[in-house]
Amino acid sequence: MTRYSRQDVLRILRITQRQLQGWERSGLIASLESFGFTELSQLRMLRELERKRMSPASIQRSVAAMRAVSGMANPLLQSTVMPSGGRLVFRTEGALVDPIRRQLVFDFEPRGAESRTLFMAETQAVSPGIAGVQQLFFKAIQAEEAGEQTLAIELYTRLLELSPAFPAALINLGTIHYHAGRFQVAEQLYRRATLADPHYVLAFFDLGNVLDELKRSEESIQAYEAALRLAPDYADAHYNLAMAYERKGLRRRALEHWRQYLRLDRTGPWAEHARTQLRKLLSREKLAITHRAKSFRAAGGRAASRLELVANVTG
């Protein structure tokens, strides 16, 4: 059975690491190092529910209630799911059930319409030739995992000839070129991904990374900021943006993003580095420099100097 790494899942489904970790913490998906098609289907469902402004806690409550009343092991995959007033309702065996209220729900939608609610958008993005394009995509991922970079490039290129605006393929091909040091090629592919899907957070994040490698700091900062406008809790974007601001000497702005990163990630080597940088910046901010204010005059009319304290912070 084909398995996909965590990074592949983020690219395929266009989700962030934080989204995935949130669903894992809520018990909505098992915490795994690799995922099969069943898990991909469940993650796709969770992504669509989140887009409909369903929080992980709300989804978890509805799923737990449905398990209790139906005995289903996995209601998200064993029934059709629809948001309703901040909760989920489930269609099973011809009935629409609100498991929290333990009630049947009147169904005023045309039959079959609800089954399209969550999944049509995923297939429309790559039509026509959906099956062929998807097959090429999965083959390309398999080639990447097997270390067959030349074959992967060939498959992604062929896929993009069939579907030029396939964001995940643009990102994956861009990343192959990025790791090979072909930064200009990677940049163009990442830019195409941002145009193909202006809400694709990873496209802007990866674009920021390659622009940083190309020493184009202003553009890199703009790309990271675009990623954070789409996903304010994207920890990695806060981390990279803090570093970019530090390199430009904009310490006050860097300070804010180190704080945001530590709010989102409190453990591990990256968090420790962020903590170190934060301490350094706070220490510098407390330092003061003096300068002379020529306009000050003493009461007797004689020119004098006055010392002023100025925070040694730029940005």
Three-state SS for the chain is CCCEEHHHHHHHHCCCHHHHHHHHHCCCCCCCCEECHHHHHHHHHHHHHHHCCCCHHHHHHHHHHHHHHHCCCCHHHHCEEEEECCEEEEEECCEEEECCCCEECCCCCCCCCHHHCCCHHHHHCCCCCHHHHHHHHHHHHHHHHCCCHHHHHHHHHHHHHHCCCCHHHHHHHHHHHHHCCCHHHHHHHHHHHHHHCCCCHHHHHHHHHHHHHCCCHHHHHHHHHHHHHHCCCCHHHHHHHHHHHHHCCCHHHHHHHHHHHHHHCCCCHHHHHHHHHHHHHHHHHHCEEEEECCCCECCCCCECCCEEEEECCCC
pLDDT (0 to 100) of residue 200: 78
pLDDT (0 to 100) of residue 122: 32
From the list 2, 13, 12, 11, the residue with the least C-alpha distance to 35 is 2
pLDDT (0 to 100) of residue 30: 86
| Domain boundaries for CATH 1.25.40.10 within the chain | 164-286
> In sequence order, what are the beta bridge partners of 82?
89
Length reported for the chain: 315
**Sequence-distant (≥ 6) Cβ neighbours of residue 101 within 8 angstroms:** none
Q: Give the Cα-Cα-Cα angle 225, 226, 228 (nearest 5 degrees).
A: 65
Under CATH, which architecture does the 164-286 domain have? Answer: Alpha Horseshoe (1.25)
pLDDT (0 to 100) of residue 124: 34
pLDDT (0 to 100) of residue 192: 95
pLDDT (0 to 100) of residue 198: 87
Q: Give the Cα-Cα-Cα angle 26, 28, 32 (nearest 5 degrees).
A: 95
Distance separating alpha carbons of residues 290 and 309, to the nearest angstrom: 6
pLDDT (0 to 100) of residue 210: 95
pLDDT (0 to 100) of residue 282: 84
CB 52 within 8 A of CB 86: no
Neighbours of 43 (CB within 10 A): 22
Mean pLDDT by 10 residues, the chain (315 residues): 78 85 86 83 85 82 77 75 79 69 53 33 38 76 82 93 88 91 96 89 90 94 92 84 91 90 78 86 60 39 35 37
pLDDT (0 to 100) of residue 223: 96
